Structure 1
Amino acid sequence: MENNFNIELSKSNKRIIIIFILSFICILLFTRVYLSINSNKLVKEEILSIERNAKVIDIYNNKKEHNFPYVKYSNGTQKILEFSYQI
C-alpha cells in the first residue's frame, strides 16, 4: 500500500499561490518595520493619554447597566467601579 499524494498544479495556479505568499510576507514585513519604527511613539502616546489627575465627583448605581456601580470623574468620564474607594 503505497500512498502517493502528488498534487499537480497548473502554472496559473502556482503563480497565484506564489503571489499570495509573497503578498502575505510583504504585509508581515511592513507591519514589523512600522512597529519597530513607531513603537516608542505609540507607547508614549498611550501613557500620556491616561488621565492621572481626576477627582471622583460621584459614585452611583447605573440603572441602564443593571445597577452596576459607576464612578463619575471631574474630567467628565464615567467608568464602572472596579474597586472600592476609601476616603
Structure 2
Amino acid sequence: MIADLTMSLLVVLAGAVGMLLLLLTWFGGRTITPEIEDELDPILGARDPIAIYESHGPYISMPDHLTTSEQMVDWMTKELPKLTAEIANPRH
C-alpha cells in the first residue's frame, strides 16, 4: 500500500517536472523582436539585400545555372575559392 502510494507520487512528480521542462523549452527560447520603424534599416527596410553585402566587402553571387545541390557544392569547392583568391590578390 505504501509502495503504491510512493510510486504514484513519484510518477506525478516526474510528470510535473517533465511538463515544467517542456514549457521552459517551448517558451524559454523565444525572444521579443523589437519594432523598428526606420525605413532605412538594412535588414527590415526596403534596401536591396545585395547592397548590404556590398557595403561590407565583395559579394559573389552563385550562378543561376546551378540547379542541383551537387552542382552548387561543386561550384563552392572548386570555383568560389578561385574567385575569392582573385579578389584577395588582385593582379596589377
| Structure with greater proportional strand content | 1
The structure that is helix-richer by fraction is: 2
The structure with higher relative contact order (CA 8 Å, sep 6+) is: 1
**TM-score band, normalised by shorter chain:** 0.3 to 0.5
